[in-house]
Chain A
Amino acid sequence: MSRLDAVVSALDSVIEWSIAASSRLGYFAALYKRITIAVAVAVKNGAFEDGPRMELFDAAFASRYFDALNGHFHPDEFPRPTRSWQKTFDAADRDDLIILQHMLAGVNAHIDLDLGITAQNIAPAMKLPRLHGDFNTINAVLASQVQGVIDDINQLSPDLAELYQCLAGNEIFLVNQAVAAMRDSAWRFAMVLAVVPGFARPVTIWARDRKVAAQADLIYYPRG
């Protein structure tokens, strides 16, 4: 079983549990499964400069999500989730949010916090710039799957589908812009982590976590 197959299998467990427990945590898990399958296809098709590295990258990236879930469900055995993930997990109980808000909050925590940390772990310090091309590619793959879910969601969310149809090509622009902004922010964060001394890294991540958690409020309580 490849690393990415193992990630999909773990996501299937989360999805199965979510169905049994009727938990909205399953929305992001299902989206993430689609993203992981797409990344596996992209690796197979040679879309990345270094496919094996990106397989490793994706598995390490996903493990941050699984660690957060473990911390949420088994607080006595695992470290507490980051504030960003905790906010997302807590919101799963809210029935006033739409499916897209649950998904975007997960994307926010995972890209804006976890992605930069993973990038720095996989390609520390001076090696980081060499990762930039594949880092952009993996984000584009991710954006295409978020977009694809919105396109396919019409049977669950007819108004959302209608709205997106009405926006025609512009919606692609909107989702891509949002993911591109998160991606660039995550890359800058990875660069910061690459240059701060090791002892300052935990506090840098702590501060970032608070910022990303605050961003989740913009998804749950849009101001515009």
Chain B
Amino acid sequence: MIGLIQATVDEIAERESRDVVRNIQVLNEIASKPAPIKTTL
């Protein structure tokens, strides 16, 4: 189990977009429309 999370993070990082500007632009678009709001955890 040791290193499993880090290995998963590395795997995600390999395919994740590294284009910071585009990433922020997409996140900003997402931000304008909130997800369904829950009021209890």
Please name all residues of chain A whose beta carbon is closer than 8 Å to the beta carbon of B21 when the two chains form the complex: 19, 22
Given A26-B20, A31-B27, A99-B16, also A159-B37 (CB < 8 A):
no
Tell me the minimal C-beta distance from B11 to chain A in angstroms: 6
Closest chain B residue to A148, Cβ basis: B35
User: What residues of chain B lie closer than 8 Å to A199, measured between beta carbons?
Assistant: none
**Chain B interface category by residue count:** 35 or more
Q: From A29, A34, A144, A183, give the contact of B36 (CB < 8 A).
A: A144
Q: Is the CB of A30 within 8 A of B31?
A: yes
State whether A34 and B23 are in contact (beta carbons under 8 Å apart), knowing that A101-B9, A157-B16, A180-B41 are contacts in the complex. Answer: no
A contact patch SS? helix
Give the contacting residue for A145; candidates B5, B6, B34, B41; CB below 8 A. B34
Render A68-87 as a binary contact track against B, CB cut-off 8 A, 1 for contact: 00000000000000000000
B38 to chain A, nearest CB (A): 4
Known: A15-B24, A149-B27. A156 touches B34 (CB 8 A): no
Pair B12/A163 contact, Cβ less than 8 Å: yes
Interface residues, chain B, CB within 8 Å of chain A? 1-2, 4-6, 8-9, 11-18, 20-28, 30-32, 34-41
